[in-house]
Structure formats: structure tokens, C-alpha cells
Structure 1
Amino acid sequence: MLLAPAKKPTALKHLRLALRLGLPTAACLGALVMTRPAAAVPSFADQTGQPCQACHVGGFGPQLTQFGREFKLNGYTMRGAKKFNVPLSAMAIASYTHTKTDQVPAPDNLSPNDNVTFDQGSVFLGGGVGKHFGGLAQLTYDGIGKAWTWDNVDLRAVTQGKVFGKDATFGIDFNNNPTVQDPWNTTAGWGFPYTGGAVAQTPGASPLIDGGLAEEVVGMTAYAWIDHHIYLEAGGYSSPKARTLQWLGSDPVGLGDIHGLAPYGRVAWTHEIGSGQLELGAFALKAAINPGRDRSSGLTDHYSDVGIDASYMLPTAKGDTFTVQARYVHESENLMASCALNEMPVGCADTHLRELRGDIAYSYRGKLGLTLAAFSVTGPPNTFIYTGPLARPDSNGVTAQIDYTPWGAGNGPLGPLVALRVGAQFTAYGQFNGNRRDFDGNGAAASDNNALRLFTWIAF
């Protein structure tokens, strides 16, 4: 996730803007100016001696194969014949974006439509040190916001042991975004779409766990991976100082800062069905936040996110892979501090969101990928938080993607450490920010935001 530094309004103005636009989480605040997290790290291929398609479905990140999940859970420490490799990689993403109607107002420094953009460039430090330490750290240049920022961080210390006679991996993980450490692509950190545009308008409301704290927190969790079937994780997150975030390139105000610690928990169970693997899981995040880092009200905003997820991955002998992934999240919100700071009645505080996402994908011969995804966010009306005729957060739609990855097997003309993906992505909306038609009170239809994005993604 990329958060471009912006002008620093006062905390109260920041809160009023958030409430007026109906953006109850930090994910909403960044939705119009950020791309999705993306990762494809050839230094891991160099370290393991395996081609990209060994760890990634379709030969390109971030969707992991079963082998890739094991590599991540074991701390990125597996090594091939090489005793040493340079743990540096880089990537770049560029795209063309067309929306059904011109965007009014136009995105900053861009045209109302048909924009060709350099979306982002990243440098990765990724690899294992010995048998017990490894990780991934990403520094990203936002081509839209024209600023550098720290990005995904996932650092691990691991060891091996036994639980009731079964093999187990035990780990401690340091990261800066709840779910970025997760090995399954069902949670928000690495969920589909694996690359997204920073140009077209996107829905405002989403649960806090969908990136609302990304790159604005630091956290530590402990986990156990037991018998390659049971995953248990628990830990907590806190907020760095505003000056620290500013130095790192993140928004120093953002949603606000966490009061105390925000606990996070995750469980998952996997089971082989035929030659495929089924995963069923659950996760939870609870946070008390000082909105805009303003403590003058003596209150905090409370978010409680609880989710369930499921996936099934079926590889074939011919190198094809079929996957199904889904998650459901329920978020309870009590925005007591925001309401008090904005002199709004108590009735503005209590609300909730429900999110449902799922995708079906097929990778043919590890080169040609087809994905169809659907998404829905719903919640009760709240005239204090949401604008528009219905004052609701509801949005839904579908995304279809076709992509081509020619060198996932490591057979590229520039060698095995260069990977390329090109693709087309189309998103169509049934509802947008509360309504199908006239969602903004100015006659705009949800379908006006339908977007076609053509992208090129290279990693080396």
C-alpha cells in the first residue's frame, strides 16, 4: 500500500473531512491515491535455486503456491546450492487507465481520463540469514504521489520443534500491516487484485483490517505452524510517533494513533483433498484509536473486526492451477471520539460494516491467468458519516483480469532473475458509495466509475 505524503491539516479539520466524505477508516482516506501492495522478489528465486513459479501461482507474485507458503512460514530461510546471494530486488509497474466517464475533478496532476502512468517502483531487501532469521522489507516510490515511503515489512525469527509428537515451526514476526505476514491470499494484505490502479475512483468504505493501518503501525506476533496443517498466531500493534512516520514517508496523521495496543489473532486449518489443499480460517483485530492523534475529547474510536476465510488450490500435472478464495469480515465501530470532536450527537457513533469478497482463478501452464472476483461492502445508513441520498456505505461489483507471464519458469532472455507480467483488468460497479444511481447527489451513476486498466509489471 502506498500512502503519499500530503498537506498536514489540523486534526479537527481532518476528522471533519473524513466524516463529511463518509470515510470511516484510513483505507478510505487513501483509496483514491494508492495502489495495492505488490511483491515479486527474484532474490528469493536466487536464494532457493527455484524458478518463480515454484513459489508463485502463474510464475509471478504475490499469490503463493503451497511451496511458497512453506517458504514464508519457515522464515524465508530455505537455501539452494548457493551459500550466498545478493538479497536485493526491484520492481516497477506502469499502466493505462480508462474510466467510463471522465473523472470530475480530475486526479491530481492527471487528465480526467485515459491516463498513462508510472504507478510505482520498489526496492526489496529480501532473504534468509542462517537457519533462523529472514524477511522482506520494501521501499516504494509512488509514481502518482511522487514520493518515497516505506512499504511492506515482514521480518521473522523461526525455530523448529514438536507439538504432541508432530513437527512444528515456531516464529516471531515483526511487520507494519496486519495480515501482511499471512501466507494465504485470502486476507487483505496480499489479496486479489494483486496490483491495482491509483487513478480510478474506488469505493470509500472498507473495514479497518483492509489496510486501514498499513504502514502506520508496527506490530509483533508469535505463531506456530503445526504438522503443516494447523496455524496459530497472536500479537499486537502500536503506532510510531508522528515524526517517525513522517520520516518514513507515511501520513503522520492518517486515521490517528492506536491507544495502547491493538490485539490481532489468526487461526487456520488446512487439509489435502485429492491433489489440492483446502484452507479454512478466522482472524480478528481490535483497536482503540485517537482520531487524527487528537486526545482532547478524552475518548477513543473503537473498531472490532472479525473475519473468516477459505481457499482451495488445485495444481495439475500439466502445470495448471485452479484456485478459489473468499473472505467475510464484520466490523463493529463506535466512533465516540470523532463524534465528540465534531460536536455531533451520540447517535452518530455506533455503526458497522460487512464485507464479502471472493475470486476464482485459473492459471494455464503457469503463463496465462484468468481471474473473476466479486466484492460487496454493506452497512446501515448513517447521515452523520455518509453522504448521498441514502447515506449508506454500500458498494459492490466485479473485477475480471487476464494476464500473461512469459518467463515464470526462469527461461527469460535476460536470465532467471527477471520476471514480467502484462495484463488487462476491468472493474464494473453495481453500487458505489451507497447507491446505484446518483450516489453523490449530483447525478453520478455507480457504473460511471467502471474502469479498464492495462498494466505492465516487471521484477528483477
Structure 2
Amino acid sequence: MLPISHRRHILRAALATLLLLLGSTAAHAIPAYARQTGASCADCHAGSYGPALTPYGMRFKLNGYTDTDGKGHKIPLSMQLIESHSAPARGDSSTQLSEGDLYLAGRLTDQVGGYVKIEADHTGHNTYNPRLSNVDLRFVAKDLKVHGKDALLGVSVNNSPGFNDPIGALPSFSNLGPSGVTGTLLNPSSPNSLANRVIGASVYGLYDSNWYGELGTYRALPTSQQDRLGYNVAGDPGRLSDTGYFRLAYMKDMKRQFFSAGVVGLTTKRQLPRSGPSDDLTDLGYDLTYQYLGNREHIVQVAYVNILERRDYGSAPVIGGVQARDHGNVHDQTASVTYTFKQSYGLSVSHMKSTGSNDVARYGPSGSPDTTSNVLTVFWTPFGRDDSYTSIANLKLAANWFRFTRFNGRGDDIFFAPPGARPTNAGDLNAFFVTASLAF
């Protein structure tokens, strides 16, 4: 059985993940990009605020964030403020300015551009923790020809595998990934995830406007550097070596519709803790997306992501008199459907599931890390379109309901409370959030 202190740590991690997923609506529809291109936020994002990309937005990202209207140099700077009201099923409700962000985003030259987010999260008692969030810096060579077909070739330096993907369906970009006591490396909701705590570079290319490929590598930042960048070292992903990342996708833009199918993989040797034995971890997944864009009055977006991680552990310790398994797997799945009316009003439903190999020593008496959750979001974006009152600011109002039906392999008493103690049920992790996000 997991020690009580460890179970409490898992609960705190789960609640922190919940707040990060719903208390933050990481804006990718950045007004600095709109000013640079002369296009509206709705050209790149179906809901005018993000994060889901339209084919136009995917091309802008592939081109290294360098497209411009040619009307002089624009300052590549934006800001975002998020006010939120949270009402957890178990705990006190609160209303606060939950996040403030600074974006350095846009074009430097014809071939160099980027996206850098500096985030300040509310940590209580009127204090905020600044940290370096997503980074994606690019060099791109455009207008190439290969066998008579259009092509481009680029390099991306980034700190989160999958965030730089053009389709925007992978967990690091979509902010959708099942949270639980474990999870895949490519899922930023997993404990000790790679997101924002690694640095890497990849070479990517697009051929004939349809075929996308990427190959790269990553290493974990030293714990001292993670601390300086605003991250608690308890979430350290560990020491990584022999790390490789690949992505291959077919994308088809049919103007009124869009379809993509892709595969993604990540393999590494990880020491967690850093002085401990090395585990061999391999993620392999696939994703499918479909968009009905029509004339932009009714937009439907569907996405499914399926990632399996195989784990060959470097040791099999005896915990609570039970020996841990020397190998296992974790399986993350996310399905989402979003409907947007007139690029302003929207409804999004997501179903997330994380499962894993049975292991009593690693996961406690249930032996199962299985977690199932759902997110329902209703939103309104009054700005961001060509006919909006303003194009230099954007606003999104959203109501979010996060619901757990299973956590740590159970629906009731998920952390095995001792006799006389109040049990924690999966439903106790549920929460309702109302957020107002302003970008300018």
C-alpha cells in the first residue's frame, strides 16, 4: 500500500494538474500575430481565441510565424490576463486573477520567428510565481522544390515535445491529456512530465502541402535551472539520455473541410530520481482529426489521440512486501468534439482515459492507475473576427466542468483512507470553473 504521505502528494499533484488544465486557457490566438499578418484571430483559430488551429493557422506555424502583411515592422509582443472563479467539489470556492502572461511572439526576419510565453500563476496570498512556459523558436527555408513539388524545411528549438506540431492535436498543444497517478511522456498532465522542463531541437519538413515529417531529440534541464525558471524540482522529469522524437502526418486541406492522420513516437532512457537506475521508455501513438469549416458559420472539429507507452524498468523494488514488476505499459486516450457558431459561440466535450499495467507495488492495493475524466466547456469570444469591434485585443469567456469517474483504479475511496478518516472519492476531484481571458 502506498504510504499516506505519498497518497497525499498524489492528491495535491492531481489537484494542481486540474488547476493547470482549467484555470489556464493558454492563449495561442495572440494579437501580436494578427497585427503582424493583418489577418484576424479567427483566420487561424476556429473559435477566434484558440487553441485549435485552422489550416491557415497551421500554415502560419509551419512558416515559422514569419508571414506578414508587408506594412512595416510590428512589435512582437502581447499580454494575457485570466480571471477565474473555481468551485471544486471538495474545498473552498475562490475568485482571483489566476494568471498573467507575456508573449514574445512573431517574426524577426523572413526566415526566423518564434513563440515564447512567460507565465505568472497565482499561488495564494496575493503572490504569483513567474515561470518560462512554452518556447518554440524557428528557422525555415520556404519556396523550395523537390521533384517539382512545393516543399519547406525548418528547424524548431522548443521545450515541450508535440507543442510545435502544426496540426495542434497532440496533448502538449491542445492542453488535453488525462491526469492521474501516471501517464505517458507525451502527456503534459502526467506526473514528472517533460513539458517545459526539457530543451530540444528538431528538423521538420512539409512536402507537396500534404506530408509532414519531423525528427529531433531532447534533454532534461538541470534541476537548478528548472528552479530558476520557476518550476518546483519535485516535478523533475529525471535525467534523459538517448532521446529521440519523430512525427509523420498526412494533412489534406479541402477548403471547406480538413482531415489529418498522423503517428508520433518518443523513446528515451530515464533516471528518476537522477541517481537511480535507468528505465527504458517508448511512446508510440496515432491521432486523427477532422474539421468541417464550411463558410465559417458552423464549424465542427473532431480529434482523437491514442498513445501507448512501454516501460522496461531498471529495477523492481519490493514495496510493502510486494515486488514491483520489471516492465509494464501506460495507455492514454483523448477524444474531443467542438462545435463553434459564427466563430464566437462554442461547445466542447472531451473524454480522457489513462490506463496501465496492474502493479500493486507501484500503484497501491488496487494495483491499477486507471483514470477516466471528462471536460465540458461552453465559451463565447466576442472579438477576434474580421467584423469585430477591435483587432488589437481578444476576449474569451468560458465555463468549464471537469468530472472524474475513476481515479487510481477506483471510483470510491481512491486513496484507501485509514479507518476513521474521511475517504476521497473520484467525484471529489470534480471542479467547475468560470474564466475570463483577455489578450492584447
Task: Determine if the TM-score, normalized by the shorter chain, exceeds 0.5.
Answer: yes
The correspondence for 2:266, drawn from 285, 291, 296, is 285
Give structure 1 stretches of 5+ with no counterpart: 1-14, 103-111, 197-201
Query: Match of 1:259, SS?
Result: strand
1:376 equivalent in alignment to 2:353: yes
Q: 1:396 aligns with which of 368, 372, 385?
A: 372
Partner residue in 2 for 1:134: 113
Structure 2 Cα separation of the partners of residues 262 and 37 of structure 1: 30
Change (3 A) 1:137 1:168: same
Structure 1 residue 303: Cα displacement: 1.7
Is the 8 Å Cα contact of residues 317 and 324 (structure 2) preserved in structure 1? no
Question: Are positions 1:355 and 2:320 aligned together?
Answer: no
Q: Distance in 2 between matches of 1:244 and 1:423?
A: 35
CA deviation after TM superposition for structure 1 residue 318, in Å = 4.7
Q: Is the 8 A contact 1:159 1:169 kept in 2?
A: yes
Distance 1:440 1:342, change over 3 A: closer
> Does the 8 Å contact 1:19/1:385 carry over to 2?
no
Instruction: Name the CA shift for 1:217/1:44 in 2 (closer, same or farther; >3 Å).
Output: same
1:28-427 equivalences in 2 (<5 Å): 31=17, 34-35=20-21, 38-39=26-27, 40-100=29-89, 102=90, 112-144=91-123, 146-160=128-142, 161-193=144-176, 203-211=180-188, 212-252=193-233, 254-272=235-253, 275-294=256-275, 297=276, 299-336=277-314, 339=316, 347-387=324-364, 389-409=365-385, 413=389, 415-427=390-402
Letter in 2 for 1:417: I
| Distance of 1:68 and 1:267 partners within structure 2 | 19
Q: Which residue of 2 aligns with 1:106?
A: none
Q: Is the 8 A contact 1:33 1:144 kept in 2?
A: no
User: 1:277 Cα shift?
Assistant: 1.1
State the alpha-carbon separation in 2 of the partners of residues 325 and 57 from structure 1.
14
**Given the superposition, is the C-alpha separation of residues 318 and 191 from structure 1 closer, same or farther in structure 2, using an over 3 Å criterion?**
closer
**CA–CA distance in structure 2, aligned partners of residues 33 and 46 of structure 1:** 31
Cα offsets for 1:344-402 (capped at 9, x unmatched)? 97634422111111111111001001111111111122122113x42211111321111
Q: Quick check: which one's strand share is greater?
A: 2
Q: Which moved more, 1:149-158 or 1:403-412?
A: 403-412
SS in 1 for 2:42: helix
Letter in 2 for 1:95: S
TM-score by length of 2: 0.88
Quote the offset at 1:228 in angstroms: 1.1
Q: Deviations over 1:145-164 (max 9, x none)?
A: 73111010000000021222
Task: Give the unaligned 5+ runs of structure 2.
Answer: 418-422
Whether the aligned pair in 2 keeps the contact of 1:407 and 1:420 (CA below 8 Å) is yes
**Percent identity of the aligned residues?**
26
CA contact (8 A) 2:155 2:203 kept: yes
Is the alpha carbon distance of 1:68 and 1:340 closer, same or farther for their aligned partners in structure 2, counting shifts above 3 Å? same
3-state SS, counterpart of residue 60 of structure 2: helix
CA contact (8 A) 1:95 1:119 kept: yes
Equivalent residue, structure 1, for 2:410 = 435
Over 3 Å counting, the alpha-carbon distance change for 1:342 and 1:34 in structure 2 is: farther
- 8 Å Cα contact 2:320/2:361 also seen in 1: no
Measure, in 2, the Cα distance between the counterparts of 1:17 and 1:221. Answer: 42
User: Residues 301 and 337 of structure 2 are in contact (CA less than 8 Å); yes or no, is this contact kept in structure 1?
Assistant: yes
Corresponding residue number in structure 1 for 2:420? none
Provide the secondary structure at the position in 2 that maps to 1:326: strand
Kindly indicate whether the alpha-carbon contact (under 8 Å) linking 2:55 and 2:253 is maintained by their aligned counterparts in 1.
Answer: no
SS of corresponding position for 2:168: coil
Count of aligned pairs between the two proteins? 421
**Contact 1:216–1:251, Cα closer than 8 Å, also in 2:** no
- Structure 2: how far apart are the matches of 1:148 and 1:422? 24
Three-state SS of the structure 2 residue aligned to 1:303 is strand
* Native 8 Å contact 1:16 1:342 kept in 2: no
Superposed CA RMSD: 2.7
**Which residue of the partner structure matches residue 429 of structure 2?**
449
TM-score (norm 1): 0.85
Taking a change above 3 Å as real, the CA distance of residues 151 and 390 of structure 1, as seen in their structure-2 partners, is same
Relative to 1, partners in 2 of residues 1:204 and 1:333: Cα closer, same or farther, differing over 3 Å?
Answer: same
Deviation at 1:433, TM superposition (A): 1.8
Q: Is the 8 A contact 2:400 2:434 kept in 1?
A: yes
Higher mean C-alpha deviation, range 63-72 or range 285-294:
285-294
SS of the residue corresponding to residue 123 of structure 2 reads coil
Change in CA separation of 1:207 and 1:373 when aligned onto 2, cut-off 3 Å: same
8 Å CA contact retained: 2:324, 2:360: no
Matches of 1:18 and 1:233, distance apart in 2: 42
SS at match of 2:167: coil
Distance 1:457 1:176 in 2: 24
Cα pair distance change 1:309/1:21, threshold 3 Å:
farther
Shift of residue 185, structure 1, vs aligned partner: 2.6
CA distance in 2, matches of 1:229, 1:22: 45
> How much does 1:86 deviate?
0.7
8 Å contact from structure 2 (residues 103, 115) kept in 1: yes
